[in-house]
């Protein structure tokens, strides 16, 4: 199993987990499109990764909630490399509030980035996968695809939804070689998590140390954060796996936070 010359689009790959997945894929010889809202950061990440392995990378500007931008970004990748083999729909943000204080605009923004983004990028990539030899669609879920936490109504709802969408794609895509799976990480130290620590401390009335120890890592088997590299390794497995034996699944990478 390897990703040599595979054409991969990774959304939200200018930072954090997506960038780590891009690095892992380039190291294995893939051609990777870093698709991100932040155009300059995407270009910088692509320049940084090219040369870090046998593969290559380009930056593609894409707001995953905008159908025209998604379609244009996917078309740009096809123009550059002629095909799409792997989609990692990873772009995401976090907004935390108690439900009674959750602004409706923030709820809609969360569902748009996580769910519309997964739908629109899958819809744009699938015809190219069907035209060639199939492909692999990977959604970045979360332990919150399975568990709930206070303050995270929109995030938990969206991450649960990704399980359903991936299973439909697994069923629709099977006959044409397209697999769909979900990665469900525990807490990983990225800008998305660093931003939440003071916000949760404020909303829950506890210290930042307690947020980390009790809220984020309290249910793990060893009190450890999951790393970007851990998640990237699982993404590589889902991307490179050669058959429908591994489709419609989700895998938790969370130091045992969730075991069901």
Q: Exposed (0-12), middle (13-18) or buried (19+): which is 260, by Cβ within 10 Å?
A: exposed
- Closest contact distance (angstroms) between CB of 113 and ligand NAD is 5
* 14 lies in the binding site for ligand NAD (CB under 6 A): yes
Q: Which of 2, 39, 21 is nearest to 188 (CA)?
A: 21
Part of the chain binding ligand NAD (CB under 6 A), chosen from 48-56, 71-79, 126-134, 191-199 = 191-199
Distance CA 26, CA 31 (A): 7
* 111 lies in the binding site for ligand NAD (CB under 6 A): no
* 247 lies in the binding site for ligand NAD (CB under 6 A): no
* 147 lies in the binding site for ligand NAD (CB under 6 A): no
* 17 lies in the binding site for ligand NAD (CB under 6 A): yes
Part of the chain binding ligand NAD (CB under 6 A), chosen from 52-60, 87-95, 118-126, 235-243 = 87-95
Q: Which of 207, 245, 232, 250 is nearest to 53 (CA)?
A: 232
Part of the chain binding ligand NAD (CB under 6 A), chosen from 22-30, 120-128, 183-191, 201-209 = 183-191
CA distances in angstroms from 206 to 4, 29, 81, listed in the order given: 48, 46, 50
Whether residue 95 contacts residue 120, with contact meaning beta carbons closer than 8 Å, is answered with no
Q: Which of 127, 106, 121 is nearest to 165 (CA)?
A: 121
Check if 130 is active-site: no
Burial 105-133 (b: 16+ CB within 10 A, else e): eebeebbbbbbbbbbbbbebbbebbbeee
Among 57, 78, 90, 146, binds ligand NAD (CB under 6 A): 90
Distance CA 154, CA 70 (A): 23
Among 38, 67, 199, 224, binds ligand NAD (CB under 6 A): 38
Catalytic residue among 155, 187, 225, 236: 155
The residue among 158 and 170 lying less far from ligand NAD, judged by its C-beta, is 158
- Closest contact distance (angstroms) between CB of 193 and ligand NAD is 4
* 162 lies in the binding site for ligand NAD (CB under 6 A): no
Q: Which residues bind ligand NAD (CB under 6 A)?
A: 11-12, 14-18, 36-38, 62-65, 90-93, 113, 140, 142, 185, 187-188, 190-193
Q: Which sequence positions are flagged as catalytic?
A: 155
């Amino acid at each position: 199993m390897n990703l040599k010359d595979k054409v991969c689009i990774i959304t939200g790959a200018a930072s954090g987990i997506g960038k780590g997945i891009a690095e892992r894929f380039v190291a294995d010889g893939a051609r990777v499109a870093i698709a991100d809202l932040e155009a300059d950061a995407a270009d910088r990440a692509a320049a940084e990764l090219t040369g870090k392995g046998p593969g290559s990378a380009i930056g593609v500007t894409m707001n995953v909630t905008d159908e025209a931008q998604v379609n244009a970004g996917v078309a740009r990748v096809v123009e550059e490399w002629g095909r799409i083999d792997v989609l990692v729909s990873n772009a995401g943000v976090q907004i935390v509030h108690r439900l009674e204080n959750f602004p409706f605009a923030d709820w809609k923004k969360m569902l748009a980035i996580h769910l519309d983004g997964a739908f629109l990028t899958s819809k744009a990539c699938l015809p190219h996968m069907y035209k060639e030899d199939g492909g692999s669609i990977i959604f970045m879920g979360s332990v919150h695809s399975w568990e709930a936490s206070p303050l995270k109504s929109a995030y938990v709802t969206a991450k649960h939804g990704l399980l359903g969408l991936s299973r439909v794609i697994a069923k629709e895509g099977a006959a044409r070689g397209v697999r769909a799976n979900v990665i469900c990480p525990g807490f990983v130290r990225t800008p998305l998590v660093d931003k939440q620590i003071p916000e949760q401390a404020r909303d829950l009335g506890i210290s930042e140390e307690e947020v980390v120890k009790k809220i984020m890592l309290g249910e793990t088997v060893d009190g450890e954060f999951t790393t970007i590299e851990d998640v990237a390794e699982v993404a590589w497995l889902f991307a490179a796996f050669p058959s429908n034996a591994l489709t419609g699944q989700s895998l938790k990478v969370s130091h045992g936070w969730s075991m069901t």
